């Protein structure tokens, strides 16, 4: 069976969760895909940072360039977030011809055309299904399943944190600050939660969906 080596940048809450999910479901995925997927290296901020799921020390490094420069890594998963260093990480991985998987909707919103141009130049693939409603999913459906459709409008809940907060406020008459604190404790809201509660996360996602629906890059700002 063919083996695909993964390198991941980001080993905190989301990254360790991805590692745990692959560990738990790896055999099932291999049986369905005919490909064995395995982590080779994971770049983290610190070896002892708190994370919901343990990552073996032997897999971790604090130098993200070890991930993108490793010739034995075929796919790089970016889970750093933000529009700063994450951009450099993805561009570096694409320049090496590696497939990149990202959930970074803020980065795609701000620098999508540049990232996709870099992928095209190097002949690499840039996948971003998890950036918008990854649990549905919607990106592949718009890009492939509904390629012949026209979209006068797209309706849906694109920010689970806001949906959770507003639902509880309406149903329970709860105070916003209290529900937000609870959402953070349960892992729904980030710390700080600005992107969610200020509407920026939803804006980024809507811009990506609009771009896919209309066939040209929409100004997300």
Residues with catalytic function: 205
User: How far is CA 142 from each of CA 54, 123, 132, 151, 164, rounded to the nearest angstrom?
Assistant: 36, 22, 12, 10, 26
Spatial CA neighbour of 79 closest among 23, 29, 39: 39
Calculate ∠ Cα 209-158-75, nearest 5°: 65
List the beta strands (DSSP E) in 94-141.
99-102, 126-127
User: Positive or negative, the Cα torsion across 33, 158, 120, 216?
Assistant: positive
């Amino acid at each position: 069976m063919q083996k695909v080596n993964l390198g991941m940048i980001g080993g905190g809450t989301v990254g360790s969760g991805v590692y745990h999910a692959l560990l738990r479901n790896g055999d099932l995925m291999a049986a369905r895909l005919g490909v064995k997927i395995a982590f080779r290296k994971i770049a983290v901020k610190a070896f002892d940072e708190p994370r919901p799921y343990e990552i073996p020390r032997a897999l971790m490094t604090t130098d993200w360039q070890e991930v993108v420069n490793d010739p034995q890594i075929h796919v790089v998963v970016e889970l750093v977030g933000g529009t700063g260093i994450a951009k450099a990480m993805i561009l570096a991985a694409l320049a090496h011809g590696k497939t990149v998987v990202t959930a970074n909707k803020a980065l795609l919103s701000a620098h999508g055309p540049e990232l996709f141009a870099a992928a095209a130049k190097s002949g690499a693939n840039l996948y971003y299904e998890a950036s918008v409603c990854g649990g549905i999913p919607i990106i592949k459906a718009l890009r492939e399943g509904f390629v012949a459709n026209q979209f006068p409008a797209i309706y849906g809940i694109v920010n689970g944190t806001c949906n959770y907060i507003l639902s509880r406020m309406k149903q329970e008459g709860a105070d916003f600050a209290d529900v937000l604190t609870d959402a953070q404790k349960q892992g729904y809201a980030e710390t700080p939660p600005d992107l969610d509660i200020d509407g920026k996360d939803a804006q980024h996602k809507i811009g990506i969906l609009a771009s896919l629906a209309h066939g040209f890059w929409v100004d997300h700002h």
